[in-house]
Amino acid sequence: MTTGDARLTPSPHPPSQGTLYGVGVGPGDPELMTVRAVRLISEAKVIAYPTLAGAESFARSIAAEVIPDGVDEIVMDVPMTVARAPAQEAYDLGAEQIAAALDRGEDVVCLCEGDPFFYGSFMYLFARLSDGYDVEVVPGVTSVTTCAARAGMPLAARNERLTILPGPLDEAELTKRIEGAESVAIMKVGRHLPKIWSVIEALGLTDKAVYVERASLPEEVVLPLSEAPEKAPYFSMILLTKGADPWL
């Protein structure tokens, strides 16, 4: 099996395979899980989810109250490293464990924070398993729409365009993308906050930007970018619109 490029197919095909569900559990508030997500999780016999370097799974913590007692749990421990190979190996191993459960005829519910196909780790499992198994993707509420709601900040209307950018982009690329955009959501802010702030300030758009961290959670913070803290957690976002003042 080639690391990072493996697609698992069952052999031999059992008479009845299980279905893999990639279930979006939303941005953090358990009440933002969809009715379908709650039903699938509450009925699950096997759940799967990734963790980062052995830390608690955020996706599991969101769904904790509806996870049944005695459920089998497949934990994919993803190392925190810039190198891609260790993470790909973790998803290879997770896919093998999920495939084994599916081959036994068991459905597997994979928990995904936010939406499975919007910067979601579930896409790596989908790539490995969808050729050989039935896979259903259950959409979840995204962090972008949650942050906009919590900030009271409409992002796009009529023919306006919304541009979504990852914070790790370099300054030149961020500048170019923001200059050509009408509304912007910058995700994965974290340690990149000073760089992003500098770009927005140089473009004269600081008063058009809002900072949001841990949207929908009890520790949520929503502030004009000019009042943002010096350090930001990974789960933070900057929203920017070039129209009217977002606070009006």
Cβ distance 46 to 72 under 8 Å?
Answer: yes
- pTM of the entire structure? 0.87
Measured CA to CA, the distance from residue 132 to residue 46 in angstroms comes to: 19
**Calpha distance 24→189 (Å, rounded):** 21
pLDDT single digits (tens) 73-102: 999 998 877 778 888 899 999 999 999 999
> What string of H, E and C letters represents the secondary structure of 33-71?
CCHHHHHHHHCCCEEEEEEECCCCCHHHHHHHHHCCCCC
More confident residue, 177 or 246: 177
The 10s digit of each residue's pLDDT in 174-226 is: 999 999 899 999 999 999 999 999 999 999 999 999 999 999 999 999 999 99
Which of 133, 140, 53, 60 is closest to 95 using CA atoms? 133
Amino acid code (one letter) for 221: V
Q: How far apart are CA 229 and CA 219, in angstroms?
A: 14
Residue 176 corresponds to which tokens in the numbers above? 């170019």
Instruction: Identify the structural domains of the chain with CATH numbers, from first to last.
Output: 19-138 (3.40.1010.10), 143-241 (3.30.950.10)
Residues 168 and 199: beta-carbon distance below 8 Å: no
Query: What are the helix (H) ranges across 113-191?
Result: 122-129, 143-151, 171-179
Provide the total of helices (H) and of strands (E) in the chain, helices listed first: 7, 10
Residue-level pLDDT at 105: 96
